[in-house]
Structure 1
Amino acid sequence: MYSPPPDPADSHRLADAHDKAAAALGVTHSGPLTWGWHGRTLSRRAEHPEHDACWLRLLAAPADKAGGKLWTGTADAARSVPSAVRRPVLHGLHDHTDGTYAYRAELTSYVDAPICAPSPVIRQELTLAPTWWSTLRESLTHLAAVRTDRVAVRQEWIDRSVPRFTGAPAPQITEWATAHGDLHFANLTADGPVIMDWEGWGVAPLGYDAALLYVYSLLAPATATRVKHEFADILDSPQGQAAQVIVVAELLQSASRGDHPDLVPPLRALIKEISETL
């Protein structure tokens, strides 16, 4: 859910921290506040004297829990992911703490193109040009070859969570590749596409990104069919089917916390379909 934190005090605290980060990075606000998933991030368009239009994104965490993969994802991508992968350019970082909470502000290039969907689970069909799909495939191919010690999905999580949430045996992954880790239409622009939100990228089961995009699309059948067509070589392979099982487990885990309950029936149907083909 893209919404402010439930406690108004947290909203005010984050907005104040965002203002301080803007001052530290030398930008002025020029757009409305945009909240991330469950109010965990706060972003806004800003103007920089050298870089012109930018995007200022603020992450927050308790001071004793700050750091780690999600904290450094954008900076790590700027160092390691080649420009052939279409993504925003990182211009600057600013870290600060108020003693209780830590904050990281990321100043990136402003992407003047709408995202494909307002939320990860799409409920309306999308019409995208053939060149959009080929450009996405090209970006993901370049990304898959990136060498990194970042991990997006671990075998230990698969072993524990797939049986628990799907009732299916946990796939034993033998082929891994670097993935964006959160590939859905709310992180893809309608032009390009540019791939947004790099906090969770890292090594994942082969086919993981294609599986994410497909499974998040199940409530829009025509779009899901298009995803399946464009990534058929991946999704129809044993590795791609294993990746789909893993993604279904992740989304069923999320649904157990109250997220996207209407996606649960097609998730269950997909697990049954894959189980019958194995």
Structure 2
Amino acid sequence: MFEAPAPATVDRMLAAQRHAADQFGLRATGRRVWGYRSRTLSSAAGPHWLRVVCAEAGTEGGTLWNGPSTSRTLPASVPRPDLFRIQDWTTERYAYRAELYALAPDPMVSPRPVLDEDPGLPETWWKEMLAALDALADVLPPADRETVREEYLLRVIPEFTGHPVDDVTWSTAHGDLHYGKVTRGPHILDWEGWGRAPYGYDAATLYVYALLAPEAAARIRTELAPVLDRPEAHTGPLTVCAQVLQAQDRVDFYAELSGPVREHLAHL
């Protein structure tokens, strides 16, 4: 997903991955998938998927660290690979967590978060995704699981979109539902950031991240209309647009999206 880090970090994370694989009696194989700022390293391990998370010793824990483990409580109607085992260990400088998942049986929708062309997903895929989003929205998350904080959106939406923030309807969201984290099953991956967010936040992410492919975006907007056309979904898209514009100088694909996002905001 992201580029490999500096060689010293690569060596350290690969050593951690080997240690995790040994603990599970497996061997990591296949393509390495690096996470944001190289805090995670994932790859296939036999019939499983092995994900290793790293933090500086003493800073582990919290929302992102515990997201996957707490997501085990989500209903089965939210399709995701099973998380079988978790193994924690600490060195002098770093804390690590290894998570062993079922290997998703189908490929990713896109090799990167945004769409460059129509992925050709069938109508049944969108119906299943909408059902999953509805089931997730009905979940009452733990009090400490906040994907988007109210103080944040009250600040960034007016600053970066020029729109006021009306009454916000809150629900539960995956929190990072882009095309590099959903398969053609569909199965939804990487639950570290799930929690409370404005209603429609996930659906808005899928729509906004398709704006580089206008024909695909138009179709996706139609498929997601049961969520996005609801009055309470107004804040979700504004939040996603504000996040894109706020981070366009430090996230490459946000920079690509910034022009289409401004055009989208101009038509709201």
Distance in 1, Cα, partners of 2:131 & 2:229: 19
Which whole-Å deviations, capped at 9, do the CAs of 1:74-110 have from their partners, x for residues lacking one? 11011x1011111010110011121211111110001
Does the CA-based 8 Å contact 2:204-2:228 persist in structure 1?
yes
Which whole-Å deviations, capped at 9, do the CAs of 1:251-270 have from their partners, x for residues lacking one? 11221324221211111112
Shift of 1:39: 2.4
What is the count of residue pairs matched by the alignment? 265
Which residue, out of 137, 140, 154, partners 2:133?
Answer: 140
Structure 2: which 5+ runs fail to align? none
1:189–1:258 Cα change, 3 Å: closer
Matches within 5 A, 1:171-190: 171-173=166-168, 175-190=169-184
Deviates more, 1:250-259 or 1:53-62: 250-259
Distance in 1, Cα, partners of 2:56 & 2:155: 27
Does the CA-based 8 Å contact 1:155-1:172 persist in structure 2?
no
Which whole-Å deviations, capped at 9, do the CAs of 1:109-152 have from their partners, x for residues lacking one? 01121100011111122101111111111111111111212211
Does the CA-based 8 Å contact 1:40-1:60 persist in structure 2?
yes
Shift of 1:169: 2.5
Q: Secondary structure at the match of 1:120?
A: coil
Distance in 1, Cα, partners of 2:54 & 2:167: 35
Q: Secondary structure at the match of 1:245?
A: helix
Q: Secondary structure at the match of 2:97?
A: strand
Q: Which residue of 2 aligns with 1:129?
A: 122
Distance in 2, Cα, partners of 1:167 & 1:40: 34
Distance in 2, Cα, partners of 1:37 & 1:122: 19
Deviates more, 1:129-138 or 1:162-171: 162-171
Q: Which residue of 2 aligns with 1:246?
A: 239
Distance in 1, Cα, partners of 2:243 & 2:231: 19
TM-score by length of 2: 0.94
CA RMSD of aligned residues (A): 1.5
Distance in 2, Cα, partners of 1:171 & 1:23: 52
Between the two proteins, what is the percent identity of the paired residues? 42
Which whole-Å deviations, capped at 9, do the CAs of 1:177-209 have from their partners, x for residues lacking one? 11111111111111x201111111111111111
Distance in 1, Cα, partners of 2:251 & 2:32: 25
Shift of 1:171: 4.0
TM-score by length of 1: 0.91
Does the CA-based 8 Å contact 2:88-2:98 persist in structure 1?
yes
Q: Which residue of 1 aligns with 2:201?
A: 208
Q: Secondary structure at the match of 1:148?
A: coil
